[in-house]
Amino acid sequence: MIQVDDLSLDAPDGRPLQQGLHLHLEPGGSLLLLGSGGCGKSQFLRVLAGTVPPRTGRVRIAGVQTWPGEGALALAGRVRTGFVFAQGGLLSNQTLRDNVALPLRFAGTSPGETRARAEAALERFGLLSVADLRPHAVSASQRKLANVARVEALQPEVLLVDDPLEGVEAGDHARVIGWLRDWIQDAARTLVVGLEEPGDFGDLPVRRLHLSPIAPAEEPR
């Protein structure tokens, strides 16, 4: 499902972050992308999502080549992808409800089903009471949960999660961890989760890729 060959990444300021990355993830597979802050996890996830081009290398998602190429534009309408951003990522001029519903509407889901799925996702993460507020009017934790609710409603085939617990209040940790564990164990989804440490996911039988500042090393399953 995800195929990465000889990938090199740069930071936004042009600093080299990683080089020679290879990754082959089968459909339904999951990967924990581990490494300390600043080693390039977020940048790697953005390259996989098709929003940032790599310096060199080739990326294919579900057989569609994104790099070199048009990135996420090549996937639109062909592969359903989702991204839980570490921070931000919500449209500031729309309510949480509209943020959750927009990718569904654009994917051609009927209005009734869009409403029902958005409602269910917002309810699952305790956001119904603030669903009609815009992102600036809710807490950082609720914004992060809205990011999660958006992919829960969209049900993407490929899900990229950047630091799932960053900014989430301690009281909501269990909710996010439970949701992510369900998704990791779902054979219909392919997941890449960026984390500093495996932490609450350490016991799951998933592949891990450790990113150190330059030399990457992939651990066996």
List residues near other proteins by CB under 8 A.
12, 46, 49-52, 71-73, 75-77, 80-83, 85, 87-93, 102-103, 105-108, 150-151, 154, 156, 160
Spatial distance between the Cα atoms of 162 and 113, rounded to a whole number of angstroms: 28
State in angstroms the smallest separation of the CB of 47 from other proteins.
Answer: 11
State in angstroms the smallest separation of the CB of 123 from other proteins.
Answer: 20
Choice between 90 and 122, CB closer to other proteins: 90
Choice between 83 and 201, CB closer to other proteins: 83
Choice between 46 and 208, CB closer to other proteins: 46
Choice between 138 and 216, CB closer to other proteins: 138
State in angstroms the smallest separation of the CB of 56 from other proteins.
Answer: 21
State in angstroms the smallest separation of the CB of 62 from other proteins.
Answer: 13
Spatial distance between the Cα atoms of 218 and 207, rounded to a whole number of angstroms: 8
Question: 175: left (phi > 0), else alpha (psi -120 to 50), else beta?
Answer: alpha
State in angstroms the smallest separation of the CB of 44 from other proteins.
Answer: 14
Residue showing tokens 């949480």: 96
- Could you give the dihedral angle defined by the CA atoms of residues 54, 58, 62 and 65, in that order, rounded to the nearest 10 degrees? 90
Spatial distance between the Cα atoms of 131 and 146, rounded to a whole number of angstroms: 9
State in angstroms the smallest separation of the CB of 212 from other proteins.
Answer: 26
- Report the chain's terminal Cα–Cα distance, integer Å: 17
Q: Which residues contact 125 (CB under 8 A, 6 or more apart)?
A: 145, 146, 148, 149, 152, 172, 175, 179
Choice between 152 and 216, CB closer to other proteins: 152
- Could you give the dihedral angle defined by the CA atoms of residues 99, 30, 209 and 74, in that order, rounded to the nearest 10 degrees? -50
Query: Residue 202 has which token pair?
Result: 């350490």
Choice between 55 and 173, CB closer to other proteins: 55
Spatial distance between the Cα atoms of 17 and 39, rounded to a whole number of angstroms: 6
